[in-house]
Structures are given as C-alpha cells and as structure tokens.
Structure 1
Amino acid sequence: MTRAFSIERILFMPPALPALHPPARPHNLAEDGYAIAIGCAFIAMGLMLLKQAGLVTGGMAGIALLISYLIPWSPATLFILVNIPFFLFGGRAMGLAFGLKTLFANVAIMVLGLTIPVALQVARVSPVFAALFGGSIIGFGILAIARHGAGVGGIGVVALILQKSRGWNAGRTQMSCDVLIVLASLPILSVDSFGLSVVSAAAINAVLIVNHRPGRYIGH
C-alpha cells in the first residue's frame, strides 16, 4: 500500500515549475567593451548639450563643466584629468579589472567628447531640453558603465564602493554629493541656469535611483 501510494505520487506529481529567472551568465569582454563604449557616448553627448546650454550638473561631469567655464578647455578633457586620483583608488578598492575598465571608460569619454562636436554641431539647444535630456542620457551612460563592471571615476566610484560594501543606494549617495557640486556653481551661473543645473543633476540621479539597485540586474 505504501509502495503503491509512492508510485502514484511519482506518476501523478506535477512537474516542477521552471525558475522565474535563468541562471545569471556573466558578460564577456566584448559585451563589456560594447556596452561601456555606448555609455561613454551617452555621457560625452550629454556633456556637449549641457556645455552648449551653459549649465552644470552633478558628479565629476559637473566639476568638469564648472572648470570649463573658468579655463578654455574641453569638459571631456577636464573630465579625465579630475578623475586621475580616483583611478588607483577605484582599482585598489574594487579590483584591477574595475580599475582598468574605468580607465578605458574615461579615455573613451575624452576621445568621444573631442570628436562628437566635429561630427555633430549643435547651433542652439533649449536649456530645459539640455537639462532634462542631457542629464538623463548621462545617467543612462553611467548606468551602462556601472552594470558592466566599471565606473566613471570620482563620486561615481565612491558611490559604487559604498553600494557594494554597505548596500547604500548609489543614486542617493551621489545625489547628496551633487547638491554640493551644483551649489558651487552659484557664483558663476545665473539664477535660471542654476535652477536648470539642479534639474540636470536630478535627472542623472533619477535614472540611477530607479534602475541601479542591488539584485535588480541579472547577467553581470
């Protein structure tokens, strides 16, 4: 009787449901390079739009833009220069692969930032559009780079380290620092430009807060 019952359970037991998510498959080097290159293009394009509109934003992009209004250098060039101290820090804290990918990302942002204005010349851009669209694509650029094991340096590296080590949300951590960076632009920008710079920083961080949460992304 017990044996029959056991056989019936085996024969008529419903099949196990498949897992809701397939096992995570790490990205290969080519996938990482492709995604990081796209993210860098987004960031370079966003920097160009914000520079054209006379705005700043948060993070190291904001610092680079802020300095570019004081000296006649490209924001993309300044972006990599202000990030130099963070390359070694990021490599030591997050590993050699992270440090090398971050270095590659920053070089790519500089190169694209110098070449995109040659290929695409923007005569006029609405400051509101630049703040919203430029800030958003910078946020998606940072997101793409972060999800493929790299950072854009500076505050972004610190935010990723804190998220990995303490579980702090990277977007909220960066937003707190961005407030201080945008406030530093008050002596340089007009009231309207300052307000739109706040909007651009909020657009960047909204992308990260919504999309870059621990455990949400599968595949890296």
Structure 2
Amino acid sequence: MSEKKILKMMLESTPVRHSLVEDAQAILVGAMLCALGVTLLKSAGLLSGGTAGVAFLTYYAFGLPFGAVFFAINLPFYYLAWKKVGLAFTVKTFIAVTITSFITEALPRYIGFGFLDPVVSALFGGVLLGNGMLVFFRHRASLGGFGILALWLQDRYGIKAGLVQLGLDMIILAVSFLVASPYIVFASVLGAIAINIVLAVNHRRDRYIAV
C-alpha cells in the first residue's frame, strides 16, 4: 500500500481521537524506529524511495548529512500537507520528520555495526521503517514526502497520484545506479518491498481508526 493511499484513507476515516500524550509518545516511538531503520540501511550502503531516497543519494554523492538533507527536502511539502490534509497533520508530520532527522544523525555515535549483509539489512531496515511509518499513520502523521505531492498534483491537474509516485521513485532508482552497484540497488528494492508489505498488511481502516 503506497503512502498516498494511506493518506487518502486518513481523510475518509471516522476517527477516535488520541490524547496529546498518546500522540507525543507515538511520534517519539515512530521516530526511533524509523531512525534505526535508516541507520541500518545507511550503514549497509543501501537506499530507499521517496524523499528519504533523495537524502540517501545526496549523502552518498556529496557526503552531506542524511538527517539535515532529509529535513530540508521535506520543507516544501508542509504547505501542501496543510492545504490537503490539515494543520494538525502538518504540525505532527513536521515534528515527526524533525525528531527522525535528529535521531538519525545522533544514533551512529552510540550504535555501530561490524558486519551487515545488504539483503538482511534491507529487510530488517525496511521492517523497522514500515513499523515506524505505521505508528505515524495511526496518529495522523507521516514522514512527509512525495505522497503528499502526488495527491496535490492529482487534485490540481488530474494527474494520477499513483503514476506520480511511481515516476518519482523510478527516477530515484535510475539515479541510484550512479552511486551504488546493481546488487545494492536490488537489495534496496527488497527493503522498499518490506516497507510496503508491513503497511499493506497492518494499516487497514476496518481494523484501526484513530486520530
């Protein structure tokens, strides 16, 4: 299940409201899971899709900090998020992205890996990212990114959101071959599949509805 479909489901749901404390702990837990997943992928030289994929490419090509780039890339999407989904979602997404970016940069000072198999790292990193995003989605937040842009373009110009998302991810995948071997790109695709399997199996409107 793509992020744009999950965001669409958020708009159509009849929610049961979370408390402020519940939202705060969820965003922190989600950020911790996502940051650990990113650290696994980054330590194994892997990539991802969406704005995280752009941050990975920038990190590998120019050595710029992943967390800072990921935070900066998401800035233009907050206006679209506010117009498309609402202020509460936008604020929580901004906090989620900020905390995730900060933890991602800080974590390597405290955690190191001696050996990482790319395929195993992709699967575990993907599962961690998927579960972190799942926590965000269940509290009406996200990691920002192209899903919001895809929904906006669909509403504004009639371009199918799925095609926009697919096109952007395909561009990232194509550019990935400039900074990584085909095997690393293949392993990264497995990680992306793991993320989407976690979301597709566990994020269903008929099983869990809340804000």
Question: Which category of TM-score, normalised to the shorter sequence, fits these structures?
Answer: 0.7 to 0.9
Q: 5+ unaligned residues in a row in structure 1: which ranges?
A: 1-22, 163-169
The 3-state SS of whatever aligns with 2:141 is coil
After the TM superposition, which residues 32-43 of structure 1 pair with which residues of structure 2 at under 5 Å, given as runs?
32-43=23-34
CA RMSD of aligned residues (A): 2.6
After the TM superposition, which residues 101-120 of structure 1 pair with which residues of structure 2 at under 5 Å, given as runs?
101-120=92-111
> Which of 71, 76, 84 is equivalent to 2:67?
76
> What is aligned with 1:135?
126
Aligned length: 192
Give how far 1:175 is off.
6.2
Q: Provide the rounded CA distance (Å) in 1 between the counterparts of 2:68 and 2:173.
A: 20
Question: Contact 1:182/1:197 (CA < 8 Å) preserved in 2?
Answer: no
The answer as to 2:43 corresponding to 1:52 is yes
Give how far 1:89 is off.
1.1
> What is aligned with 1:165?
none
The answer as to 2:185 corresponding to 1:185 is no
1:96 partner letter: L
The 3-state SS of whatever aligns with 1:63 is helix
2:65 partner letter: S
Higher relative CO (Cα under 8 Å, sequence separation at least 6) belongs to 2
The 3-state SS of whatever aligns with 1:207 is helix
2:204 partner letter: R
2:64 partner letter: W
> What is aligned with 1:148?
139
Question: Contact 1:171/1:208 (CA < 8 Å) preserved in 2?
Answer: no
The 3-state SS of whatever aligns with 1:34 is helix
The answer as to 2:186 corresponding to 1:195 is yes
Question: Contact 1:139/1:204 (CA < 8 Å) preserved in 2?
Answer: yes
* TM-score (norm: length of structure 2): 0.81
The 3-state SS of whatever aligns with 2:143 is coil
* TM-score (norm: length of structure 1): 0.78
The one-character-per-residue Cα deviations of 1:137-178 (angstroms, maximum 9, x if unpaired) are: 11111111111011111124346879xxxxxxx999856753
Q: Provide the rounded CA distance (Å) in 1 between the counterparts of 2:147 and 2:101.
A: 17
Give how far 1:35 is off.
0.8
> What is aligned with 1:124?
115
1:116 partner letter: L
Identity of aligned residues (%): 39
Give how far 1:65 is off.
0.8
Question: Contact 2:90/2:141 (CA < 8 Å) preserved in 1?
Answer: yes
Q: 5+ unaligned residues in a row in structure 2: which ranges?
A: 1-13, 154-160
2:105 partner letter: L
2:118 partner letter: P
Choose 1 or 2 for highest CA Rg: 1
Distance 1:54 1:75, change over 3 A: same
The 3-state SS of whatever aligns with 1:70 is helix
> What is aligned with 1:26?
17
Q: Provide the rounded CA distance (Å) in 2 between the counterparts of 1:143 and 1:159.
A: 19
